[in-house]
Each structure stands twice: as C-alpha cells, then as structure tokens.
Structure 1
Amino acid sequence: MKTKLNFFLIIVLLVVLAGCGTNDQSTATENQSSKDTHQNNSEVADATKNEQALETDGQIISTTVAITEITDQLELDLVGIPTTYKGLPKRYKGLPEVGLAMDPDMEIIKSLKPTDVLTVTTLTSYVEETFTQTDTPATYLDFESVEGMYEGIQYLGEKYNREEHAEKLVEAFEEKLAEIEAKIKDQESPKVLILLGVPGSYLVATEESYVGDLVRRAGGVNAMKETGVEYISANTENLQQAEADIILRMAHGMPEEVVEMFNKEFKENTIWRHFKAVKNERVYDLEEVLFGTTANLAAVEALEELVKILYE
C-alpha cells in the first residue's frame, strides 16, 4: 500500500512539474513573441520615418551646376541633373541629364515627373514660357549676387527640411567672406571695367551682376553706373571715357574661343590701346570655373583671386 501511495505521489509530482514547465515555456514564448513584435513595430516605424524623410525631398531636378553643388551640400537627392562639361558631385553620378540650363530637354524632364525644377532668375526669359506651357513646377532662385545665393540656400533648406544644413553653409560663407573683406577695407578702391564675352560679342557687367557684386565686395568701383540690369552693351568710346584702372574679361561658355576673340578685338581695334588699363597692362582674363555668371560655392575662392588682382 505504501509503495502504491509513493508511486501515486511521484506521478502527481511529475504531472505538476510538467504543467509548470509548460506554463514557463508558454510565458517565455509569449514574452519573446512580444519582444519580437515590438522590435518589428519599431523597425517598421523607423523605416516609415526614413521613407517620409526621403519623400520630403520630392522629385527634384537641378538645371544648373551652381544649384547642383548646393543641393549636394544640403544632402538633397535629385532625379535629374544639367548637361555640362564641368564636374558634378559624386552623389548624382549616373542620373539622367536634362540638357543645357538655357535650353532644357522638356521630353526628358517630363518623363522624370518632377515636383520641382530648380533654375535661376537670370534664365527666366529663356525657360519660363516653356515651363508654363508644359505645366512644369519650377523654382527660380536669385543667384545674381552672394546675398541672393544665401537667400536661395535658406529657401531650399526651409522647403526641404534642411534648415540646419543651410544655416551652417551660409554661416561658413559669411565668416570667410567677412575675413577677406576686412583685410582690404583700408585699400584704395580701383575702378574696374568688367567685360562678359560670348562667342562673337561681349557685354559690360554692372554691379548688379554676380561678378560685379564680387568686385564691390573686393573694394572695387564698377566703371559702369547703370542700375537695374546685370549687363549692358556699350561702344568702346564710352568705355574709354570711364577711365578704368583694371579690365576684367570673363567668358560665358566656350572660354578658349572667347579669350581668342578678346585678344583679337584688343589687337585689331586700336582704340583699346588708349585705355588706361591697357597702357598699364592691367587686363586680366578670369577663369570661368571660378567666375560664372551666377553665384556659386566658389565665391570665396573667387573673391580671394579678385583681391590679388585688384591690389597686386
């Protein structure tokens, strides 16, 4: 009888232990399942958050080199880039090219379904009608001066949730430019004539132009007093009367051809020999990479180069 009782108690104990083991295992499984579910939910939330962050960038196309360099600094993704012989940031390697800034390929642009096509105000007369007729969303950034570029960077920062990037970029520029300007504040201001060459012709840049703005920041006085326009046409007789101390020659596209054109003009048109700057050998050809027609991220380097030229 005692043996049977002991056997019965052993059976009951095994059943109880088995039951406890099952409950423990069930609880552990439920806890692990809860952890896995929580982890999965977190991963989904993170993925959604990242996806939303990318979505705020939209389907952006940049049509100029200057804008493309800035969007790179703001860590903005693009779906289309300008066609250019100049190097573009590695971030955008392999992206579809949308043609020249002045004459973009609308077929390619429309195929990319952009939510924003970035261009500059100086090209408004070339592209606005086409963009309007094709119902293409476009943003015109004013890069006609360094200040305008600052505003454009800040605008993009606000529009695409890159305020911190934009603020740091602008602050870095302001500090460097302020240092350069402080060095030349006591220098005597030279009078500067700025010529913008295009194959076969040239215009005169006013202080309203980007390079005109740089010359002002470098302490120079523009030989042309016109306001409200970036470039004007003028005959050489009037230019001579301006008595410029320095002549700066810049190219817009095909720089080698433009320099050759300038050299021929200055050699064959004898009136140039009577210019003060020519007599004193103060005629300089500006490198196109540094001195574009719109403000760009090379502004600091360009200003440093101008200071060397103006006060050598």
Structure 2
Amino acid sequence: MMSFKLWRSTAVLAITLLVAGCSSNTSTENSSAENSGANTSKTTEVSVTQAADEVKDEVKEDYRIVSTTVATTQFFDLLDLDLVGIPTSVKELPKRYDGITKIGNPMTPNMEVVKSLDPTEVFSVTTLEYDLAPVFKNAAIKSTFLDFTSLAKMNAAILDIGKRYNREEKAQTIVDGYNAKVEEIKQKVAGKPQPTVLILLGVPGSYLVATENSYIGDLVRLVGGKNIVQGEDVEYLASNTEYLQQSNPDVILRAAHGMPEEVVKMFDQEFQENDIWKHFNAVQQGRVYDLPEELFPTTANMAVAEALDAMVDMLYAD
C-alpha cells in the first residue's frame, strides 16, 4: 500500500478587519418661552440627528489609505476610494492611481516610505499577515489584512470595507455581480460529469499542490470540479507524485507564482524528465493547462468572472 505523505505548509490565517466607529454627543438647552411646543422640539431633534450624520460622514471620508498588493489596489479602485500609497509591481494598476507614491514589493514594503505617507490604515492580504503584521505593529501603523482566499471571503471583505468607507451601494453591486456569475456557471455545468482536478502551484525551483482552501481550488469547486486532495485545512501541500498518479485526475492545472515564464519551463522539464507523469490520464488526454497569472493569482482579484469562464472551458473541454 502506497503512503500518502504531504507535508503541511503555512495555515491560512483568519481575516482581521478593525471596525472604526465614530460617535457624537449633543446637548440641548430647554427654552423658557411658553410657545416652544412639540413641533419645535421635533425640529431640534431632526437638526441634531442630521448634524451627527454629517459629522459621521466627514469622519469616514477623512482617510489616508495605503494599499500594498495589486489585488487590494484593484479592490479600492472598484470602490472608488483614493489611495496615498500603492505597491511597486510590473503588473498594470488602475489608471486612477497614476502618480501615487509606490511603497515597494507587497511582501517587503518600504516602511520608511509607508510611514512618511502618514496613513490612517494600511491594507494587505491574509496570506502575508504572518510576516507583515509584526512589521506594521512595530511601526505603530494600523493594518488590516483582507482574506482573498475564496470568492465568498473576498465578497465579505468588499461589503465590510464598503460599509466602513461609505461605499455600501458600490460594494453591494460588485458582490451581486459576482454572485450572479456563479449562478450562471452553475446552470451552465448542471448535469455534466464532475471532473477530478489536480492543481499544481509552481514557484521557481519547486511546486506545491493546491487544496480547496486555496483561491484556485475555490474556483475549481465553484465550477463543479472535484479537487483530488480532500479534507485538508491549509492552502498548499508538498507533493507525492506517486500518490497523485494513483488519484489519476481528469485535468491538471499548473499555476505559476512569481516568475511565470521560468515556472512554466520548470513544469515542462518536470513533465518531460519525470517518467511518472506520462502515466497520468490527464497527460495522455492532453488535458494539462497552464493558468495565466493575471486571471489565476494566489489570491482573489477583480477578474473573477473571466477566471470562472476560463475554468469552465478547461474543466469541461470536449
């Protein structure tokens, strides 16, 4: 009996969203005039409530946000929120942030630059929280790590930030659009045989197996596919090719992280030189797909609809 040894990697960290509130205290003095009746009191109460709401709105709009990843930057663009800092990336960022100060790599932001921007809040993603939370804490900078490891969690983050920054209507519209797309996909694949899927995440020099708890694993689940790795509570695991071959998936998806061209070459070499891969049904049937990083990054981004359509085409190819 062949053993299935998959070493656990970093556990998925829970999302922490710090809710900022504001309050106002008001006091009124009673008038001694006999003609100050109920109507006057009611008018005064309405005026006080309106004033409090105006102060609350002003506080919500008084922000200086630094976004440290491409996904969070796209996210704030959709919510029509201004930023004072954005990540340094070869990827194209929303045009509205042209000229905004760049704060460095998402994994190692330049803290001197970040501090110089005097941010009210810095945003990253939970997959980087373990490394970055202590850095922001030591710098006395308020940080929030958005959980983009699944569409449902990203939707929850969108709604939460929309509520906090006076963008509730925009946030709800975005989430409704994603949910409608998922329903469309479910109807499209209804009744079709469920394909089994192996997801490989390549980094320069090695690769991991993605579980259902990864973003790409979540997309596979949403379009009706079945990940061959079940029952795990982490995003990625080290691989055992002999066990994977026994699982014999219908489809193999190869995702690249970091340096896509180099990773694809690594995958090609691995599949050519390691004899075991030729025994996979997916390889024999030509159902091995390299996922474009702009649609299939390691965390969710705003191209969810396009990614779902592309995933359906791969998993249900004729």
* TM-score, length-scaled by structure 1: 0.82
Q: Which amino acid aligns with 1:83?
A: T
Q: Distance in 1 between matches of 2:62 and 2:256?
A: 34
The 3-state SS of whatever aligns with 1:124 is helix
- The answer to whether the 8 Å contact 2:74/2:94 transfers is yes
1:152 aligned residue = 157
Q: Distance in 2 between matches of 1:311 and 1:273?
A: 21
- The answer to whether the 8 Å contact 1:249/1:285 transfers is yes
The 3-state SS of whatever aligns with 1:294 is coil
1:206 aligned residue = 211
Q: Distance in 1 between matches of 2:287 and 2:190?
A: 21
Q: Distance in 1 between matches of 2:75 and 2:185?
A: 22
The 3-state SS of whatever aligns with 2:93 is coil
Aligned residues with identical type, % of pairs? 53
Structure 2 gap segments, 5+ residues each: 1-53
Which of 262, 265, 280 aligns to 1:275? It is 280
Aligned-residue offset at 1:54: 8.4
1:15 aligned residue = none
**Alignment length, in residue pairs?**
264
Which of 264, 268, 278 aligns to 1:259? It is 264
1:121 aligned residue = 126
Q: Which amino acid aligns with 1:175?
A: A
Q: Does 1:195 align with 2:195?
A: no
How large is the RMSD of aligned CA atoms in angstroms? Answer: 1.6
Query: What whole-Å deviation, never above 9, does each CA across 1:200-235 have from its counterpart, x for those lacking one?
Result: 010100000000000001110001114210001022
Q: Distance in 2 between matches of 1:297 and 1:178?
A: 17
Aligned-residue offset at 1:99: 1.1
Q: Which structure would you say has the larger Rg?
A: 1
- The answer to whether the 8 Å contact 2:60/2:166 transfers is no
- The answer to whether the 8 Å contact 1:57/1:76 transfers is no
Structure-2 change in CA distance of 1:127 and 1:108 (3 Å): same
Q: Distance in 1 between matches of 2:285 and 2:134?
A: 46
Q: Distance in 1 between matches of 2:228 and 2:215?
A: 15
Q: Distance in 1 between matches of 2:60 and 2:183?
A: 37
The 3-state SS of whatever aligns with 2:86 is coil
- The answer to whether the 8 Å contact 1:197/1:258 transfers is yes
Q: Runs ≥4 in structure 1, deviation > 2 angstroms?
A: 52-55
Aligned-residue offset at 1:135: 1.5
- The answer to whether the 8 Å contact 1:57/1:160 transfers is no
1:236 aligned residue = 241
Aligned-residue offset at 1:126: 2.1
Q: Which amino acid aligns with 1:79?
A: V
Structure 1 gap segments, 5+ residues each: 1-48
Q: Distance in 2 between matches of 1:191 and 1:55?
A: 47
- The answer to whether the 8 Å contact 2:60/2:165 transfers is no
* TM-score, length-scaled by structure 2: 0.80
1:224 aligned residue = 229
Q: Which amino acid aligns with 1:128?
A: A
Q: Distance in 2 between matches of 1:57 and 1:239?
A: 52
* Higher RCO (C-alpha under 8 Å, 6+ residues apart): 2
Q: Distance in 2 between matches of 1:300 and 1:254?
A: 24
1:248 aligned residue = 253
Deviates more, 1:90-99 or 1:177-186: 177-186
Q: Does 1:177 align with 2:182?
A: yes
Which of 300, 312, 316 aligns to 1:295? It is 300
Give the helix-richer structure, 1 or 2.
1
The 3-state SS of whatever aligns with 2:202 is strand
Q: Distance in 2 between matches of 1:195 and 1:290?
A: 15
The 3-state SS of whatever aligns with 2:200 is strand
- The answer to whether the 8 Å contact 1:247/1:284 transfers is yes
Q: Does 1:76 align with 2:76?
A: no
Q: Distance in 2 between matches of 1:198 and 1:54?
A: 43
